[in-house]
Structure 1
Amino acid sequence: MGPIGVLHPGAMGAAVGRELVAAGHTVHWVTAGRGANTHRRAEAAGLLPVATLDELASICPVILSVCPPATASSVASAVAATGFDGRYVDANAIAPSRVREIARALPTVDGGIVGPPPGGPGRTVVYLSGADAAAIAALFDRTAVEARVLSGDVGSASALKLAFSAYNKITFALAAQSYALADAHGVRDELEALAGAKLPDTPLAEPASLGGVGERAWRWAPEMREIAAAATEVGLAPGVAEGAAALFARWDAFKDVPDVPLERLLDELR
């Protein structure tokens, strides 16, 4: 199928790109406007640099967008402005209406990545929908990313991704809110003991798991807003996701800070 372009190689994008390189694909990325951390990730993943988006669009028949939800539309618009006419894979956590809007400007395959950055079999799944989804899925043969094609049109993969994230990530917001409430009343230890007995294997029973959320909350907050938009599209109340977005936004200062102590997280919520 030819070279693959990845926009932009953050932790997930670089790891997916590394898997594609290991499977024998040539993978490019755009250096313009990218920082030192992105350069290091891309180089470590074996991605080949090009200077501009126009250059990438001219040599890559497939472009894979893996970026924060808040920038998904602007990234797609920039690609459309190059006149790109290959397959554009939007693998971002955005509402179905947004990916359908992108598809009106670009020949789009809808993607939803579930799981952490790939590092071994069974960790990461990409769901794909729309025309040419099967052809894109074939690119992931012999990689640690499992590609699954959905029967629906563009929007189906995004809907599945957001439906899963709504439950998976909002549970962390609920646990954080519960611990902040208990801490304010001096019963945090008692809450942890109660949760361990009644709700084992949940974020409420394992407050240490919240430490890893702090560094990702800057991405999770806009994802919650996408979930709220997706809920509104089908007549559901968006308030739960909007509340989670507001909570995660209070942790913006912890962007890329690993293992934030629970005390600091709770302080920021107050």
Structure 2
Amino acid sequence: MPPSIAVIAPGAMGSAVAARLVEHGCKVLTSLDGRSAATRTRAAAAGMTAASDAEIAGADIILSIVPPGEALALAEQLATVINRNTKKPVIVDCNAVNVETIRRIADIVLSSGARLVDAAIIGLPPKPGTSGPAFHVSGEAAADVAVLGQLGLDLRLIEGPIGAASALKMSYAGINKGLTGLGAAMVLAATRAGAADALRDELASSAPHIHARLGNALPDMLPKAYRWVAEMREIAGFLGPEHPAAMIYEGFARLFEHLAADVQGQGTEAAQIVAFAERCRAKK
């Protein structure tokens, strides 16, 4: 019999992960208290089952998949309920948080008697016909969730303590999303100065891999920019306040915050980014 699993929360990634688990015969619980109608619809489409906090705390495995700024608060909420239970679950923290944050989460979770697995999700939400994304896991309890690899998730063990998976996530996201942020900043600067066409043509000629990447990554980033703000600040914290590179990621946080506001507002800069990307794709 598959283990009982809870996934919090049913966002784009959480609901897709839940759907993959449901496809493999699992009952997947989630919390819908205070959630929007759109979220409830997404959870229902994924086959998720609404549950109380007590029911979620009684699951065998709880996957925490929330924005990084909410990870600590969720750990505290879960620990409060788990403290009352005899049964102790394994909590898999899949959030884009830095090493210091995951260690604080570990202190909270372990104090409740539950076990913690540090996890880094790398890749897009699961889709039918694909095996991804990759779930890199670390910590003493990582072997306790090996069953997830038999339930449709691409589970990859990192030989290391709590913090190893989060360090991987911070490093990978710092490169991957940092390149997207750098591209967005330079595209907007070139557009303001009337050099967008020249920049695009030069990239196509001398750096075709970057040209192709920007054509796809830039428009994909815009609806997610608001979620990337906290992640950039987690990466800055991962580097450390005294490291000069931390300032780069604080700058990216401010850039994505600015772009998110533009998307919700006049959309002037978003339109410039989309126009640049569309012409990149048309020039292939």
Q: TM-score of the superposition, structure 2-length normalised? A: 0.85
When you count helix as a share of all residues, which structure comes out higher?
A: 2
Mark the runs of 5 or more structure 2 residues left unpaired by the alignment.
110-114, 276-284
Paired residue type of 2:191? D
Q: Is the 8 A contact 2:191 2:272 kept in 1?
A: no
Q: Which residues in structure 2 correspond to 1:115-194 (within 5 Å)?
A: 115-119=123-127, 120-143=129-152, 145-194=153-202
Q: Residue 122 and residue 140 in structure 1: after superposition, are their counterparts in 2 closer, same or farther (change >3 A)?
A: same
Aligned pair partner of 1:98 in 89, 98, 101: 101
**Alignment correspondent of 2:50:** 49
User: Is 1:207–1:262's contact at 8 Å kept on the other side of the alignment?
Assistant: no
Q: How big is the shift at 1:153?
A: 0.4
- Give me the whole-angstrom Cα distance separating, in 1, the residues matched to 2:256 and 2:212: 16
1:173-198 Cα deviation digits (max 9, x unpaired): 11111111111111110000011111
Deviation at 1:261, TM superposition (A): 5.1
Taking a change above 3 Å as real, the CA distance of residues 129 and 109 of structure 1, as seen in their structure-2 partners, is: same
**Secondary structure at 2:26 match in 1:** coil
Give the conservation status (yes or no) of the 8 Å contact 1:175–1:207.
no
- 2:80 is matched by which residue type in structure 1? A
Aligned partner of 2:281 in structure 1 is none
Q: Is the 8 A contact 2:183 2:214 kept in 1?
A: no
User: How far does residue 132 in structure 1 lie from its aligned partner after superposition?
Assistant: 2.0
The two structures, once aligned, show a CA RMSD in angstroms of 2.1
Residues 3-152 of structure 1: matches in 2 within 5 Å? 3-50=4-51, 52-57=52-57, 59-83=58-82, 85-106=88-109, 107-119=115-127, 120-143=129-152, 145-152=153-160
* Cα contact 1:31–1:49 (8 A) shared by 2: yes
Q: 1:242 aligns with which of 247, 250, 253?
A: 250
- Matched-pair contact (CA < 8 Å) for 2:92–2:119: yes
Shift of 1:83: 2.3
- Residue equivalent to 2:282: none
CA contact (8 A) 2:200 2:211 kept: no
Give SS of 2:82's match.
coil
Q: Secondary structure at the match of 2:209?
A: coil
Preserved CA contact (<8 Å) 1:225 1:241:
yes
Aligned length: 259
* AA matched with 1:146: D
In 2, Cα distance between equivalents of 1:187 and 1:235: 33
With over 3 angstroms needed to count, the CA separation of the structure-2 counterparts of 1:140 and 1:39, relative to structure 1, is farther
After superposition, give the CA deviation of every residue in 1:43-91 in whole Å (9 maximum; x if it has no partner).
11111111x323311x312111000111111111111111253111100
SS in 1 for 2:40: helix
Counterpart amino acid of 1:37?
A: A
Q: Structure 2 matches for 1:243-258, cutoff 5 A? A: 243-253=251-261, 254=263
Task: Determine what percentage of the aligned residue pairs are the same residue.
Answer: 33
Rounded to whole Å, the distance in 1 between the matches of 2:149 and 2:16 is 13
Q: Structure 1 residues 234 and 16, CA, compared in 2 at 3 Å: closer, same or farther?
A: farther
Shift of 1:152: 0.4
Name the amino acid aligned to 2:97: I
Could you tell me how far 1:105 is from its partner in structure 2?
1.5
Alignment partners' CA distance in 2, 1:90 and 1:189: 43
Give, in angstroms, the shift of residue 136 of structure 1: 1.3
The answer (yes or no) to whether the contact 1:14–1:42 under 8 Å persists in 2 is yes
Q: TM-score, normalised by structure 1?
A: 0.89
Q: Give the C-alpha shift of residue 236 in structure 1.
A: 6.2
